[in-house]
Each structure stands twice: as structure tokens, then as C-alpha cells.
Amino acid sequence: MIALYLVILSRGQPKSPRLFLWSAGLLWRVGKMNIVLIGYRCSGKTAAGTILARRLARDFLDTDGLIEQEAGEPLENLIVAKGWNQFREMERSVIATVSTRDNLVIATGGGVVMDERNVQRLKGNGLLVWLTASTVALKERMVKEISLGRIRPSITGADPVDEIDDVLKLRAPFYKRASHLAVDTTKHDPQGVAQIIIAGLWQRVQRNDKEIR
């Protein structure tokens, strides 16, 4: 336990004594299990995951980023050129690989839960946290990203912003079924989301450690 405290202190996070104890306690109880963030586009997985990884002294991986590295091009170009089926095949391969590692914080693509093979692999050595947000918030965030040049390829053929309601309605039961914990990011910045995840997982493992493992 002392070693865990020293590792967290070496990262300079967190400043709150309570959050510090939750962070160390969480690491002690979950051991090397990965923390996997799932949820719709623009729910904050990458931003919160980066902060969460730093606070827990873990490496951070973004599966969409790994797919882009493998493809050698942005996701929107890959999907336009080769289609969603090719992307999903690459995603399954990336999930299979990262699931063999441990001590990670992993941000996944929005559709990863639609393939049960992905879910089972991630759950084999991971705690899955569903980041939610209101559809209004998701749309506002996506519009902002588009204005900054981050293009989100359409999932259904409709406008990426307009399709949010329908796609989220389809996916929500899959997110819920896959997750150990849900965190609403609507009114929180990434720092706050990371703190809520740490506190929520700590409470969860305290309440039912055997089920988590």
C-alpha cells in the first residue's frame, strides 16, 4: 500500500486527501485490472481517461487512436474509403490485443459494445465505466468539435449530429448491460469526471468486491 501512495504522489495527483486515499485504495483493491471507458461519441472518454490515468499512475490507451496508427490515416478517411465493416474488424483486433495487457486506462470507440466479443474480452481483465451525457450536451460538444475541424463520420448515413438520438437509443441498453459503473458527464469537466470515476469505483469495490473480480 505504501508503494501505491508513493506512485500516486510521484504523479503530483491528487491534491485532495480524500481523493488521494480513494485512488490508492482503488488501486489496491482492483490490482492490475484495467479501467475501460465506454460511451457515445463526445461523452468525454479520452479527456477524462487521460486525467484518470495520470491520477492512478497508469498508461492510457485510446482504441480509436490505435486504429488510426495501424491504418495510417484518420478514422473518417478510413471509414469513407473502406467502410464501417473494415473499421469494426480492426477494432476487434485492437480490443483483443489491449485486453491481454493490464494496469491500463482504456478509452474505447462508441460502438465497441455492439460486439459481445469485445465486451467479454474487456471484462476479462477490466472494470467498464459508462460515460453518459444528455443528448443536448452530446450535440453541443459534437458541433463544437466539427467547428474545430474534427469530423465525425456518420453511423447511419444521416448528419452525425442529427443521428445522435436514434443511435444512442439503440446503444444505451448495450452500454448499461456492459458497465460496472455509469457516470453522467453532462455538467462536469474532465477533471470532475475523473474524480467521480475514482470515487464511484472505490464505492463499488467496497460494496461488492467479489462480483467486480
Domains belonging to the chain, first-starting first, are: 38-205 (3.40.50.300)
- Residue 200 has a pLDDT of 87
Quick one: what percent of the chain has pLDDT higher than 90? 74
Helices 2-10 and 17-30: angle between axes, nearest 10 degrees: 120
- Is the pLDDT reported for residue 14 higher than 60? no
Among residues 202, 159, 164, the alpha carbon closest in space to that of 180 is found at 202
- Is the pLDDT reported for residue 117 higher than 80? yes
Q: What pTM was estimated for this model as a whole? A: 0.86
- Residue 204 has a pLDDT of 77
Among residues 98, 104, 94, 96, the alpha carbon closest in space to that of 30 is found at 104
- Residue 19 has a pLDDT of 55
Cα separation of 131 and 97, whole Å? 23
- Residue 17 has a pLDDT of 57
Band (2; pLDDT cuts 50, 70, 90): very low
Query: Kindly report the CA angle at 96 between 190 and 213, in degrees rounded to 5?
Result: 65
**Residue 17 backbone dihedrals phi, psi, to 5 degrees:** -55, -40
- When pLDDT is averaged across residues 147-175 and rounded to a whole number, the result is 95
Identify whether the C-beta of residue 34 lies closer than 8 Å to the C-beta of residue 95. no
Identify whether the C-beta of residue 127 lies closer than 8 Å to the C-beta of residue 30. yes
